[in-house]
Amino acid sequence: MSQSATTPPSTRDALRAPIPGLRYCVRCCTPQTQEGVSFDEMGICTACRSSEQKMHIDWVQREAQLRKIIEEAKAKAGNGYDCILPISGGKDSFFQAHVLVKVYGMKPLAVTFSHNWFSETGFYNLQRCLEVFNLDHLQFTPARGLVNKLARKSLGAIGDSCWHCHSGVGAFPLQVATRFKIPLLIWGESVAENDGRATYKCPAVKFDRDYFTKISAKLTAEEMVGGDLTAQDLHPFTLPSYQEIEDTGVWGIHLGDYVFWDEERQTEFIRDTYGWRETEIEGAYKGYKSAECIMAGVHDFTCYLKRGFGRATWQASVDVRNGLLTREEGFELVKKHDQERPGALDYYLHITGLSEDEFYDHITSLRLQDLKHLDVPVRSKDRENAERTIPFVQQIIAKHLGAPDPRVARES
């Protein structure tokens, strides 16, 4: 299995790889183009190394650290909320709520930044989460017209459809933390779980004020002002000042750094115990990651067009590391799902006014140098999605108006 860092992919590897000519981790399905990834002298990627570390971590000791953090937060909170629980209604939300409320008896304030692209299943899951865990909840939802403008600007600014969500999920919980004086934010999965940018022993990306700007949004609210977007439009996405963060003592943790993370088992558990539901997610072969959003497939498709991999690559890599798939089986799933044009692209083009050619021209102009001379195949989708790739709230409005197509039901 050994392969030096400079050895080109073998002929056999090139034949079965999703993008022949691209270098992949010799153990999983991670390509060289994943952000932050590096391969060791054996040709094994950072995330595979991190998953080995995960097996050797003293999780009993980590849990004791978590218990201490939680007890201190409860003692400081008095009659206030013990922490902020940022939730989307996804599988991590349920698991976080289970751990905090049922295991540790915390009183969190649930906080949701709505991307305003909730799928029907996602809408159900969020409401179900609030009900079963009996959570007080604050939600912020940007206006439809603003979401549409930002979706268009996002493509040119950061090369995907979702700046408003990347930015909002960071900014809104911090705004609530500083305004309501709730210093502790408790997130779910660790960055070390399947990202090249950190490992369990070396968590290079700790949560702080600028975490989501660094990890996904790339640009601040101030940097998005311009064209048809004013500073007033972008106000909901502005982060509290460093001084405000310091005055409140805001800090955050990821449960995945303290609790052994096994998303397959967690998903089964929340499904069977709390009625969480999966759905078909475009570009993925599992029904549980980003199930709350209709646009996940477009987001991941832009990543595929630029970097040569999408959601199925992440999922297959995790499954290969966990011994659930062989690398060859993983590659087959990657080819089937990453390379498929998502149906939600129709909705994205509709709300942004972009033509399909403009979309492809822009995204392929951002393609990494490593891929420029390689074929990045795209196939059309030959089946209906399990649920409609139009925001659920627009589906409800259209139903009550008797409009045949929700996209024309007064959306901005």
The secondary element (H helix, E strand) that includes residue 185 is strand 184-187
Query: In angstroms, what is the minimal distance from the CB of 34 to Zn ion?
Result: 9
Distance CA 389, CA 391 (A): 7
* Beta carbon nearer to Zn ion, 43 or 173: 43
Provide the token pair at 111. 């906080």
Judged by CB under 5 A, which stretch of 17-25, 96-104, 124-132, 141-149 contacts Zn ion?
17-25
Work out which of 9, 18, 19, 27 binds Zn ion, going by CB under 5 A.
27
Distance CA 322, CA 340 (A): 25
Residue 48 within binding range of Zn ion, rule CB under 5 A:
yes
* Beta carbon nearer to Zn ion, 195 or 292: 195
For 104, 180, 266, 322, 333, the CA distances from 278, given in Å and listed in that order, are: 26, 33, 13, 21, 19
The number of residues in the chain equals 412
Residue 30 within binding range of Zn ion, rule CB under 5 A:
yes
CB 154 within 8 A of CB 146: no
Please work out, in degrees rounded to the nearest 5, the angle formed at the alpha carbon of residue 73 by the alpha carbons of 67 and 79.
130
Cα(first)–Cα(last) distance of the chain, in Å?
56
Distance CA 312, CA 335 (A): 8
* Beta carbon nearer to Zn ion, 42 or 374: 42
Judged by CB under 5 A, which stretch of 26-34, 248-256, 279-287, 383-391 contacts Zn ion?
26-34
Query: In angstroms, what is the minimal distance from the CB of 373 to Zn ion?
Result: 24
Which amino acid, residue 35? E
Judged by CB under 5 A, which stretch of 24-32, 64-72, 203-211, 231-239 contacts Zn ion?
24-32
Query: In angstroms, what is the minimal distance from the CB of 317 to Zn ion?
Result: 6
* Beta carbon nearer to Zn ion, 198 or 221: 198
Query: In angstroms, what is the minimal distance from the CB of 380 to Zn ion?
Result: 30
Residue 119 within binding range of Zn ion, rule CB under 5 A:
no
Q: Where are the alpha helices (DSSP H) in 296-401?
A: 296-307, 311-321, 327-338, 344-352, 356-365, 392-401
Bridge partners of residue 84, in order along the sequence: 109, 185
Query: In angstroms, what is the minimal distance from the CB of 27 to Zn ion?
Result: 5
Residue nearest to Zn ion (CB): 25
Residue 45 within binding range of Zn ion, rule CB under 5 A:
yes
Query: In angstroms, what is the minimal distance from the CB of 24 to Zn ion?
Result: 8
Query: In angstroms, what is the minimal distance from the CB of 408 to Zn ion?
Result: 46
Work out which of 17, 19, 22, 25 binds Zn ion, going by CB under 5 A.
25
Provide the 3-class DSSP secondary structure of residue 387: coil
Judged by CB under 5 A, which stretch of 21-29, 157-165, 222-230, 363-371 contacts Zn ion?
21-29
Site size with Zn ion, rule: CB under 5 A: 6
Contact pattern from residue 261 through residue 290 relative to Zn ion, giving x for each residue in contact according to CB under 5 A and a dash for the rest: ------------------------------
Query: In angstroms, what is the minimal distance from the CB of 323 to Zn ion?
Result: 13
Residue 352 within binding range of Zn ion, rule CB under 5 A:
no
Q: Within a 10 A sphere around the Cβ of 238, how many other Cβ atoms?
A: 15
Residue 66 within binding range of Zn ion, rule CB under 5 A:
no
* Beta carbon nearer to Zn ion, 34 or 116: 34
Could you tell me how far CA 209 lies from the centroid of its own chain? 18
Judged by CB under 5 A, which stretch of 7-15, 25-33, 354-362, 370-378 contacts Zn ion?
25-33
Judged by CB under 5 A, which stretch of 30-38, 251-259, 326-334, 335-343 contacts Zn ion?
30-38
Provide the 3-class DSSP secondary structure of residue 167: helix
CB 205 within 8 A of CB 211: yes
The secondary element (H helix, E strand) that includes residue 154 is helix 144-158
Q: Among candidates 182, 162, 217, which has minimal Cα distance to 82?
A: 182
Provide the token pair at 284. 């993925």
Distance CA 174, CA 221 (A): 14
Residue 28 within binding range of Zn ion, rule CB under 5 A:
yes
Distance CA 31, CA 376 (A): 13
* Beta carbon nearer to Zn ion, 286 or 327: 327
* Beta carbon nearer to Zn ion, 30 or 114: 30
Residue 327 within binding range of Zn ion, rule CB under 5 A:
no
* Beta carbon nearer to Zn ion, 30 or 313: 30
Which amino acid, residue 307? R
Provide the 3-class DSSP secondary structure of residue 111: strand
Q: Where does this chain bind Zn ion (CB under 5 A)?
A: 25, 27-28, 30, 45, 48
